[in-house]
Structures are given as structure tokens and as C-alpha cells.
Structure 1
Amino acid sequence: MTHRTLLMASAVAAFSSLSAYAQTVTPATGGAFEVVSQNTGVSAVHMALLPNDKLLLSERFHEIPSDWRRFNQDGTPNLAWNGDLAQALWAESSPIYQPNKNLGDFFTDACEFDVTNNKFEMKNYAFDTQQGYSFCNGASQLADGTILIAGGDQKWNMPFKGKNYTSDGRRDVRVYNNGILTKVGEMPLDTRANKTGGDYSGRWYPTVITLPDERAMILGGHKVYFKPTDPEVNNPTYEIFPAPTPKNLTAPVNVNVLAATFPINMYPISYVLPQSGQIFTLAGNRSATINYANGGETPGPSLPEDNVYPRSFPFAGTNWMNPLTKANGYKATVWVCGGVNRTATPDGWDNANFTRHWFDNCSNCDGTARCYHTNPEDSGAAWVPEDMPLGRSQPQAINLADGKVGIFGGSGIGHQGGDAGVGYMARNPVNKAVLFDPSQPVGNAKRWVVGAEATVPRLYHGTSVLRTDGSVVFAGSDEQNYSGDNQRRTDPYELRAEVYKPPYFYIPDRLSLDLGSVATKAGYGQSILVPLTTPAGAKIAAVHFIRYGTSTHTLNIDQRLVELEILKWGKDKVLVKTPATANIAPPGNWMLFAVDNRGAPVVQAATINLRTVNAAADATWNEADTVTPEAKPSGKDASSGAMGVKGVLWAVVSAVVGGVVAFW
């Protein structure tokens, strides 16, 4: 890409951002946030959507930050203590750094939260020397709707009710089903001792991807808690669950792109590609396509060196896949958005005795507005730049029910990382939502719109998923004492839940599905009925399938939106065809939203479990029921008022790149 093209793209995005700022934000244009709970049970580092508007949540244990402690849990001196005695004494006596106040008779880090009823139930699971601590795991929804949880962390001598708990969850593979977490597999043990006396085994910060064949890939991560100068901790491999082996996993397969991008390669961004079914993955700034059928790997395009840190933990922005539609040939467009600009001196570099590394933390660096997108299955695929309106590090992205993408939370300064309570790694929360409409061309004022502002900041360890009513629920964030020394002695563990209602909530008279008549299971390429409660079938303009989400560390790999082909319109129903293959729509639970010709999704989605084994006969249709679909209602010209922005944009782009003519 030429310098001239880059300038043009930046100018277009900049003026698109200006037009977004110029709009007055109302619920009808920018949505609205509402705090719906003061106590979700845990500070949700990990979140997975379950049926019936419930969430599986888990956290990291509440304890004194490592550099504030004078002593380790076993009573030995803590060599990492920062020497601040007043701070240490305060932390030792503070109720903040005691075990979670919501714990009952058993020690755990997990709960189920019922969003509708604002209730949580703590969940017990084995926490001992053989299995346990699931913090920093990778998770994915399996074909049957259960949640696969792989990897985790180590924890020593955690005190609770007179007993010390020690656990290692790095090698565990577990399934959560109906309130029970069960160990179903185990990753290999590597008996080589690491520098803290333990072993190099398992995965911390892996990504888990449900495959088209209903198995799951467990990809990447490190073998111990972050040690970026020790290459032995890297785990540049994948395993597949289940397998006909004693530990229920295939043998590890090497992944070159993960080997090349250490140490900034954790939680690799990964998607099942809709054409080939292979796995696209991005680690740091390098991408590849993994053919898990034969162990092959094909290098993909690399992100440019643009004065932004590589896009993996701890410098990550967010990511998503654009809706897959018949119009775009169900072709994947993958986005990465936000992250950390190299705008400040990295931490420690002002100390002459500090050993400098390119991956050192930069807690004073600004968040970036830069995004890139690529079509991984295109020949000669490349990353195309575009800016969003607000710079932010560690935001979260959600595919919304109307086909837009919401970008939420994050920090204006700093990035991910650090113990709960340290609070200096990220600050200046970016609480305004941004709505991205991929159907609008670059430069259109409606492509990027700044929306409502959240009440609760979501920084490190914030999570979110789309609910079946089309709203987005947010929880977690465990460095809420981010704003300076005067706030260090406040509670970092966020227990409030907040919901974002997109603008479509404020379109009057939204339609409803006849939920009791919708099929609960379906196979691929199968025609099914989408019944409504009113005679409004002719108003349906689209039917969207959105996969149940799992969220952690700015990732939500499970989510994707697939537009279903409408075959017939009826008075109070439409006939649609489910996705043709599991490459397009990996098996699992999906939300079914009908969207009317005003862009309003139904008030409540149906849940359909999509699997090959669910194949059934096509739904019957009486041609006498067929009606003609209605056109979009007439109204104010959607493009009115935008010409002034376009004119100014044309003039400035011309000035910047030299004699450019209008390009839309």
C-alpha cells in the first residue's frame, strides 16, 4: 500500500470521525446503558452465554497485589515487595484483599449469573493439586452448547476458612454443563523445572476454537505465568479435543507463527474460515492459516509496522468478523481495532540500569484509533487501514442483532496486565460506545457513529456478550482503582453488571417471534420456519443467526453473524434456509433474529442448536401463504445533511494527497 493511499484512508476516517462527533447522541441514535446489578457474584474475567439468559462467570482470586506483600502465603519473605511499609500494612488489614465476600462454604472462582432475575449462584469444582484454578483459561461453546474450558493458572497456599488451597489448572481441559464443571482431558506434563521450581506445562492464555467437525482446537498460550524473557515458557502448538488417547487430546502440533511472535503471542485471534474451514490466526502482527486436517500452515499477511504495538496481549485492541451474507458470498472480513500507540517511553527505560526490551510495558502510551481489516481467503490478502472515532486500548467488540458492530470500553492510556489493585497499567477509561456499520462506505457519516456513554468503566478483565434480547451485557474489570494514588486504596474488583441497549431498542412497535413454534434444533442447508406473533411477515427484510458468545481479554472468538437466506415470505412468517456448511456456521447454539425493513430486530431471539446430527426434513410451505415483501418505509433521506461533510472531506483529502478527485 502506497503512502498516498494511507494518507487518503486516514483523512477519510478522520472526517468520518468528525461527522460522528457532530451528531447529538440520543437513545435512538446511540443507544443507552443501564446498570442492572450491583453484585454479579464474581468480578468476571471470563464470561460465557448460557441458555435462559444466564452467564457462566469466573474471576481471579482476591488477594494483595504481589509487589505490595511483605510475605508470601507460606510466610517466606516476598522478594518482589516494593518496600512500601505503609501500603503493605494497609493492604494486610483491608477487607478488600480478603477472599471474595460472596463465597459461602466452599472455595471457588466461578458462578452462574441470571441476568433477568439479578441472582448469582457460586459454583463448586475440584480445586486441588490435580486440577483447578481456571483463571486465564481459553473457552469455547461446543456443538451441544456446553462450554469447553482449557488451561488456567497456578495458585499456592490461598487461605480460606482455616485451610490453604494449592492448585494448578494449566493442564486441565474441562466441560461446564448444567452447573457442573468436569475435567475431561489433560495436556502433557513437561517435567523440566522452570525458574520458580515448577514445571513447564499446559497453557496460560490459550485460545479455544470450536471446529466444523465438532471438535475443539486449543491453541497457543504460555506454559507458566508471563515470563517474556524465557523462551521455554512459549507453547507454540495446538491440540485437539476430544481424541482417542488416554488424555483425550491429540499430540501437540507446532505452529510457526506462534513460535515467531513470542512473547507477544498470547490469546491469538482465531476464526474458522467460512470457505475452507481452516483456522485463521493472528499473533502479534503476523497471521497464518492453519490446516488442522493435515497439520499444515500457510503464512498470511502481516500488519504493518505503524508505531503501534503488536495486537496480542498485553497490547491488544479488539477484533471481530463482519457479518457473513449471501451478498458478500459468505466471505470473511476480519477486523482488528485499537491497541497501543508507541507514544511514550516504556516503563523502566528512564533507569540507566534497566534492561530494555521491545515488549516492555508502556503504561503511559496512548490508545490508538487505528483499525485494519483483511479478507484472509482472498488471493494476495492484505491489511487495509481505517480509523475509528476514538482511540482506545483493550476494548471489546460485539456483533449486534441488526448487523452492526458495537465497540465498547477500554482505556485511553496504557494497556492490559498487572495484579488486581495495582491499577497503574491502564487509565482514562473510554466509556463511549462506537457503532460500526460495515454496509456503509468509507467516509459515510453513518459508517462510524459515537454512541452512548457507559456508567461503569471496563478496563483490564472486562467482559461482554450479546444477549438473546439483542442487548449487550458487561461485567468484570478488576483494576478499577486506576485513577492515581488517591484511589489506590479503593476496591479494584468490579461486581456491577451493565447492559447496553442499541438504538434498535428505541424503534417503536418491534415485532415478536412466536417462540414456542420455532424449531429448537436444525441441521445445515435445512429450510425452517420463522413464525411471528402478528401478520407482519412481509415486513421482514433479513434473518440473522448469531452464535452464543464467550468473552475474555478482548476476545469473543465464538461470536459471528450469518445472514440466512429468505426463501419465502408469508403473512405471519418467513421461510429461511440454515447455513450450508459448518465452515460458515460452526456447530452450537445460535440466536435467531428476524429484522424488519426498518432495521429493527425482534424483541427476543429464539435459540436453535445447529449441528449435522440435527438434520431434519425441510419445513413445509403452502404456496397460497406466499406474500410479496414490503419495501423499506419511506422517510427522511438517510444521506441528507452529509454532503457538507463530504465536500469538506474532498477538499482536505485533495490538500493532503494532492489533487484527488471525489471518490464515492
Structure 2
Amino acid sequence: MASYAYRPTKKFKKTLLGGGALVLLLGLNAPAAVSFAQETYHAYKISQPGYKRQYGSWALLDVPPEYRTNAIHAALLHTGKVLLIAGSGNNQKKFDAGSFDTVLWNPADNTFKKIPTPEDFFCSGHSQLPDGRLLVAGGTARYEVLDGGIRRAGGGMRVKNENPDRSYTFKKGTRFRSPSGVEYVSTADVTVPRAKKQIQAGYGKGDRMQPWRTKVTAGEARVFVEAVKEGPQALTTQAAQYEILGLKGKDAANLYGLAQKLTTEKQDFQGIRSAYEFDPTAEKYIRVDPMKEARWYPTLVGLEDGKVLAVSGLDDVGAVLTGDNEVYDPKTKKWSKGPTRYFPTYPALFLTKGGKLFYSGSNAGYGPADKGRKPGLWDLSKNTFTGIDGLIDGDQTETSASLMLAPVQRQRVMLLGGGGVGESSKSTSRTAIIDLSEESPAFREGPRLPQGTRYLSSVLLPDDTVFTTGGSSDYRGRSASDILRAQFYDPATNSFRRAADPTVGRNYHSEALLLPDGRVATFGSDPLFDDADNTKLGTFEQRIEIYTPPYLQGDRASDGNRPALGEGPRRTDPHGRATFRTAHPDRITKARLMRPSAVTHTTDVEQRSIELKLTRTKDTVTIETPKDRTLVPAGWYMLFVTDKEGTPSEAKWLLVE
């Protein structure tokens, strides 16, 4: 083969040299000139077809200004559209104004639509339902107030009701008076259930049975209260009973408040109980029954029977829930009590074969460093938890990424990166993999990331690799610590390989998900600061950047070379099968069902890739899904087929019932 030397095009020479202008610039500002030349050459290099075929390419999406939003949550719907939920978007002014945002993006034609948003879904939880609707539950009732910014003492008030005959609702603004005469006002409506009556028998003198008697257990609800007036007289660290103003007679005796302490210490975000289903066809939110507990930063995980378990979160007074979990039934639209277990907020929980949930240790923050951090398997039916060992840097699982590797039948979970608890500057390059099919599963160290990384986005691809991108080496991108790198993890070789570098930094409040055409879209990022010196307050990143992998570059992406599925059903038959016409069935080597993502705070417990049985004729392929619902929960999936090189088709949407 003849050798040749690379020669820049005339256009590139002109750009790089500037007709002699660069010589003058070098004399005036050599570092700036060198930087300009390097950036120009890099831009040229990454635009070359050979580079794209090896590393892929990035492109910024042109989003009209009126549709740019603070994407806190992203979910792919079975219509192929992406729901971007901001709520108040971590913006106190928008929260105070009651201005909440949701934007629906259609990647097929890059059109956008604003969706009326009834409540503040900022930092809610979400899960795909069997019929394709998206359950959204929880959100923000109140923004945090830091130490030094609190002028009125406040805290949680437990409102008691000793009347067994009726419940009571107290509107926002209800006043409570302390024994010393200090008044506090509620910041939200609160409904207190009626007391419970229990008939029981007892023994008296001579061990003789007493007549039947009734025991009354007071109903209780929580609400946050603040002192009416500023000043130290409202501070208290002593437990006390509070009178509810405006009540008379028996109501005044039966209803009262209890508080442990009311201070000017830091007050955390507070959650809401509200729950909604987003209907992808009608493109609107539909209210369903609220949760029993208010939740901010909860995880919602789908179960094998189609129900959804809501876990953890900050409650309506800003405290981490102590283990009060609950289950949503999409058939009745109601919630019921779930198994009790404590986790820090946004725990990464995965449905495993057999129905247990695996907790990888990944989480997104709130909670003590010594509680609920250990990975393990949670048996919901028995409510037992079996801890799992072997995780290196086990104190740095906060803001880490976790996912079930493809295919799900192999039951392997990977954890990537992470950092120390809270605002720690610690970050780790550790990855770890666990095989849950083993008799005694334990974590094994995987290949290292290029550097310590928090907030890493990790996305399953149709060729069974994992695409990881972004993140930062410090808490919320402090000190300009965003990592503009991306890579692929190949489970077949247990190694990373480079991908093209993104141009947009992504840290806290960022997301990434797989699109039906095989590309990856990235959203969001909420840095504390915009400069390396940490002096300029951060700006929320509203740009959307899309990655096109190597498998969609060059000849592999052309219509004639890319596998394609033709006419076929929209749902599987009673045996879990579906047949599609195709011009070249012999070229199709693998088929995968891929569950659409619903991701926030690097937490995406929805995505999973399922290996399918393939049968071919001269002009059709038939796929067959596993019958085990712990592997394939009912719902809508993207069906991808790939050739021997891993080039995927565009997805067909398929409903598994």
C-alpha cells in the first residue's frame, strides 16, 4: 500500500494561518494563538469521517428559546417523544411564583411542546407503567433555607386528633400557641385522620375479667410551622403541647399539636404527597390518589406485577423518611403500605430475577453516612435485607451511576464512580461488577474510569455496550471540575475504550438516555459556580447535546447497510412472540428489548436490555420474549435488532403484556 502524507485543505490552511494574521498574533499573545490553533485543529480532526467511525460524534440541538428549560428529569415515552420535567427547576423565584415547566421533545422532527404542569415536580420520582403511562410522584413543597437565612423559628408539628368519629382538615395559616403564649403558623394544608378505637378486655382485682373497654389511639399528621414573629422568644428545644387556635369545646380538647423543637437551624427541602400519571397519547398529566407520605428525592421502581414501589425521600417537614415505603397499583390508582426499610434518598434499586430488589449502594444524597449505604438484596415478601461485600471505596457511592448490564438474563450489575457523602470533594474512578446469579454474589473491581467521577451518565446501547459520559471530579462541578470525556464499557472484554469528547459539561441535575434511532441525548447540569475560582454563581445548562455512536457512522448508517424491521405487530402474542417482515433476515444476529429510561440525578432504574430468541424465514424474523416477568416487566419496549458488527436497526415499539 502506498504511503502518503496528510496535507491540510486550502480552506483549513486559511483558517489555521489566517493569511499571516497568526504571525502577528503570535507576537502579541503567543499562548492565545497556540490555544486558538489547537482548538481549530481539534474541531477539524473530530469532523473527519475516519474519526467519527472510530469515536462517534456530538452535535448540539437547536432548541428555540421559548422551550429551553432546566431539565431535572428526562423520560422516553412509547410515542418516541422525550418528556423533560423541570418543575420549578431549582429556581426559588419560579417556585414562589408557582411557575412550573414541562417540555415534550420529539426527536423525530425536533419539535417541542409545552405541557401544563399542575404542581412542582422538581426532584420527584418516576416509573414506567404497564400501559405506557409515566407515574410521577412527589416533588417540592418548600425550598431549603440555610443557616443564617432563617428569621423565624420553625420545625415539624405533629397534629393529634383524639376524636374517633371524624377527621379534620386545617388550612395553611392555621395558628398553634405554645404554653408560654408564642404563636406559630402552618405553611401548608394538613388533614388529620380520626382516632382509632380498639375494644379490648382487661383483668381487675382477683384476676377477674373487667367489662369490655375501648382504647383510643389518636390520629396524627405532620405539618411545618413557623413563628408568627421574629425573635429569640420563639426558639425552643423542649417538647411541648400546642393549642390550635379557633377550636372550641370538645374539639379544643381532642385536637392539639406536639413539637420536639422549633429553631432557626437549617431547614431542608420538603416533599409533597401528590401523584400523577402522564398520558403520552393525550400529552397531559392526570391526577391520581396521593401518597400517604410526602416525598422529595424518592426512587420509584417497577415490580414484576406492574405495581410500583416508592422508596425514601424527604418528608413534609424536611426529614429523611425512616423507612415508610408504599406501593402504587395502576389498576386502582391507589397506594398501599409497602415493606418498611430505610434508604438514603434516590437509592438505586433494581428488580432482579426472582423478584428481589438489588440495592447497588448508589444514591443521591440525603441521609447519614453510616446508615442505609451498604449494598444488598432486599426480599420484599419477607422484608429481609442481605448485605453484600467486596465494594472498594464503599464510602463513595453517593452520586455514582449503576445499571444492569446487558443482557438482563445474566444478572450482572455495574457501579461506576461516585463521591463522598454530602458536599465532599472526594471522587473515585472505581467501577465494580456483581454477578447476582452466583450462590454467594460479591462485588469485583472493574476497569478504572480515566479519573474520579461523580454524576456520571451511563446508558445501555443496543450492541450490549455501555456508553458513559460527563460528570465532574468535585461536588456539583466546583472549581471548573466538569469532565469532558466519554467512553464505552464492553462487557465482553471488561474494558473501556475512548469515545468522542462532549462539548457541554454535565454534573448535578444532568441526564442521558437512549433514543429509538440508536443515538444518546444528554440534558441538564446545575453547577454551583461557573468559574474555576468559585466566585461566579453557576448557570443551569439548558443546551441539549446528542451523541451519534460509531455504529451509526459512515457506511454502517446508510439505509442499505443498516438492519431494518418492516411490518409487524404493536404487541406480543399470548406466547410472547412477534413476527416482522425484513428484506435480509440472514443479516440479523441479535435482538434486544430495551426498556425506555426515566432518569434523574444519575439514577435510572428503568433501563434494561433483554435478550430475545430469534427465528428466521426467508423474509421474516420472529422474536420471543422470556416469560419471567421479573426479567421482562409488562410495558412498552424498544425492539432493536443488530448485525454481526453490532449495527442496530431503528427501534420498533412493542408492548409486552
TM-score range, shorter chain: 0.5 to 0.7
1:396 matches 2:454:
no
Q: What residue number does 2:642 align with?
A: 595
1:431 matches 2:487:
no
1:339-350 equivalences in 2 (<5 Å) = 339-340=418-419
Deviation at 1:307, TM superposition (A): 4.5
Deviation at 1:539, TM superposition (A): 1.2
In structure 2, what is the Cα distance between the partners aligned to 1:606 and 1:244?
Answer: 26
Going from structure 1 to structure 2, the CA distance change for 1:224 and 1:482 (only over 3 Å counts) comes to farther
Deviation sequence 1:393-424 (CA, Å, 0-9, x none): 11011000111111111002x135xxxxxx63
In structure 2, what is the Cα distance between the partners aligned to 1:145 and 1:429?
Answer: 35
2:407 to 324, 327, 336: 324
Q: What residue number does 2:590 align with?
A: 542
In structure 2, what is the Cα distance between the partners aligned to 1:204 and 1:370?
Answer: 29
2:329 to 242, 245, 251: 242
Q: What residue number does 2:503 align with?
A: 455
Whether the aligned pair in 1 keeps the contact of 2:89 and 2:122 (CA below 8 Å) is: no
In structure 2, what is the Cα distance between the partners aligned to 1:323 and 1:483?
Answer: 39
In structure 2, what is the Cα distance between the partners aligned to 1:489 and 1:289?
Answer: 41
One-letter code of the match for 1:576?
Answer: I
Q: What residue number does 1:30 align with?
A: 55
Q: What residue number does 1:191 align with?
A: none
One-letter code of the match for 1:527?
Answer: R
Whether the aligned pair in 2 keeps the contact of 1:309 and 1:339 (CA below 8 Å) is: no
Q: What residue number does 1:72 align with?
A: none
Deviation at 1:595, TM superposition (A): 0.4
1:170 matches 2:162:
no
2:377 to 278, 285, 289: 289
1:184-203 equivalences in 2 (<5 Å) = 184-188=288-292, 201-203=293-295
Q: Secondary structure at the match of 2:586?
A: helix
Whether the aligned pair in 1 keeps the contact of 2:272 and 2:315 (CA below 8 Å) is: yes
Q: What residue number does 1:474 align with?
A: 522
In structure 1, what is the Cα distance between the partners aligned to 2:300 and 2:609?
Answer: 19
1:518 matches 2:568:
yes
Whether the aligned pair in 2 keeps the contact of 1:286 and 1:303 (CA below 8 Å) is: no
Deviation sequence 1:529-556 (CA, Å, 0-9, x none): 1322x3x111111011111111101111
1:384 matches 2:476:
no
Q: Secondary structure at the match of 1:336?
A: strand
Comparing 520-529 with 582-591, greater Cα deviation is found at 520-529
In structure 2, what is the Cα distance between the partners aligned to 1:526 and 1:243?
Answer: 22
Deviation at 1:33, TM superposition (A): 1.0
Q: What residue number does 1:149 align with?
A: 136
Deviation sequence 1:228-277 (CA, Å, 0-9, x none): xxxx53342321112898x8111242115x3xxxxxx2111111112x02
Whether the aligned pair in 2 keeps the contact of 1:316 and 1:415 (CA below 8 Å) is: no
Deviation at 1:508, TM superposition (A): 4.9
One-letter code of the match for 1:110?
Answer: T
Deviation at 1:125, TM superposition (A): 3.3
In structure 1, what is the Cα distance between the partners aligned to 2:616 and 2:535?
Answer: 58
Whether the aligned pair in 2 keeps the contact of 1:468 and 1:605 (CA below 8 Å) is: yes
1:68-83 equivalences in 2 (<5 Å) = none
Whether the aligned pair in 2 keeps the contact of 1:480 and 1:494 (CA below 8 Å) is: no
Whether the aligned pair in 1 keeps the contact of 2:393 and 2:430 (CA below 8 Å) is: no
Deviation sequence 1:486-528 (CA, Å, 0-9, x none): 77256x122211111111002254334344x121111574232
Going from structure 1 to structure 2, the CA distance change for 1:525 and 1:291 (only over 3 Å counts) comes to farther
One-letter code of the match for 1:539?
Answer: R
In structure 2, what is the Cα distance between the partners aligned to 1:38 and 1:481?
Answer: 24
Q: What residue number does 2:99 align with?
A: 107
In structure 2, what is the Cα distance between the partners aligned to 1:601 and 1:120?
Answer: 26
1:177-576 equivalences in 2 (<5 Å) = 177=279, 178-188=282-292, 201-223=293-315, 233-242=320-329, 248-255=334-341, 258=343, 265-274=344-353, 276-283=354-361, 285-292=373-380, 294-302=381-389, 304=391, 306-307=392-393, 309-311=395-397, 315-324=398-407, 330-340=409-419, 359-362=421-424, 364-365=425-426, 367-391=427-451, 392-412=453-473, 414-416=474-476, 424=478, 427-440=480-493, 442=494, 447-479=495-527, 481-485=529-533, 488=536, 492-506=539-553, 507-509=556-558, 510-515=561-566, 517-523=567-573, 525-532=575-582, 534=583, 536-566=584-614, 568-576=615-623
Q: What residue number does 1:610 align with?
A: 656
Q: What residue number does 2:207 align with?
A: none
One-letter code of the match for 1:339?
Answer: G
Q: What residue number does 2:25 align with?
A: none
Deviation at 1:607, TM superposition (A): 0.3
Whether the aligned pair in 2 keeps the contact of 1:524 and 1:579 (CA below 8 Å) is: no
In structure 2, what is the Cα distance between the partners aligned to 1:361 and 1:487?
Answer: 17
Unpaired runs of at least 5, structure 2: 1-48, 145-186, 190-269, 362-371
Q: What residue number does 1:89 align with?
A: none
Whether the aligned pair in 1 keeps the contact of 2:60 and 2:544 (CA below 8 Å) is: yes
One-letter code of the match for 1:496?
Answer: R
1:125 to 95, 117, 130: 117
In structure 2, what is the Cα distance between the partners aligned to 1:99 and 1:125?
Answer: 13
Q: What residue number does 1:18 align with?
A: none
1:580 matches 2:605:
no
2:70 to 26, 43, 47: 43
Q: Normalising to structure 1: TM-score of the pair?
A: 0.65
The alignment yields a C-alpha RMSD, in angstroms, of 3.0
Q: Secondary structure at the match of 2:402?
A: strand
One-letter code of the match for 1:321?
Answer: M
Deviation sequence 1:616-644 (CA, Å, 0-9, x none): xxxxxxxxxxxxxxxxxxxxxxxxxxxxx
Q: Percent same amino acid at aligned positions?
A: 23
**Pairs aligned (count):** 469
Going from structure 1 to structure 2, the CA distance change for 1:119 and 1:374 (only over 3 Å counts) comes to same
In structure 1, what is the Cα distance between the partners aligned to 2:61 and 2:357?
Answer: 37
Unpaired runs of at least 5, structure 1: 1-23, 66-97, 127-131, 158-164, 189-200, 227-231, 259-264, 343-358, 417-422, 612-664
Q: What residue number does 1:651 align with?
A: none
Whether the aligned pair in 1 keeps the contact of 2:357 and 2:379 (CA below 8 Å) is: yes
In structure 1, what is the Cα distance between the partners aligned to 2:297 and 2:505?
Answer: 23
Going from structure 1 to structure 2, the CA distance change for 1:398 and 1:210 (only over 3 Å counts) comes to same
Going from structure 1 to structure 2, the CA distance change for 1:373 and 1:149 (only over 3 Å counts) comes to same
Deviation at 1:560, TM superposition (A): 0.4
Q: Secondary structure at the match of 1:217?
A: strand
Q: Secondary structure at the match of 2:301?
A: strand
Q: Secondary structure at the match of 2:500?
A: strand
Deviation at 1:44, TM superposition (A): 0.7
Deviation at 1:156, TM superposition (A): 6.9
Whether the aligned pair in 2 keeps the contact of 1:524 and 1:610 (CA below 8 Å) is: no
Deviation sequence 1:582-604 (CA, Å, 0-9, x none): 111111111111101222111x1
Whether the aligned pair in 1 keeps the contact of 2:85 and 2:122 (CA below 8 Å) is: yes
Relative contact order (C-alpha < 8 Å, sep 6+): which is higher? 1
In structure 2, what is the Cα distance between the partners aligned to 1:285 and 1:107?
Answer: 35
Deviation sequence 1:75-132 (CA, Å, 0-9, x none): xxxxxxxxxxxxxxxxxxxxxxx659xxxx9832222122333332222133xxxxx2
In structure 2, what is the Cα distance between the partners aligned to 1:214 and 1:32?
Answer: 38
In structure 2, what is the Cα distance between the partners aligned to 1:322 and 1:63?
Answer: 32
Q: What residue number does 2:180 align with?
A: none
Going from structure 1 to structure 2, the CA distance change for 1:526 and 1:538 (only over 3 Å counts) comes to same
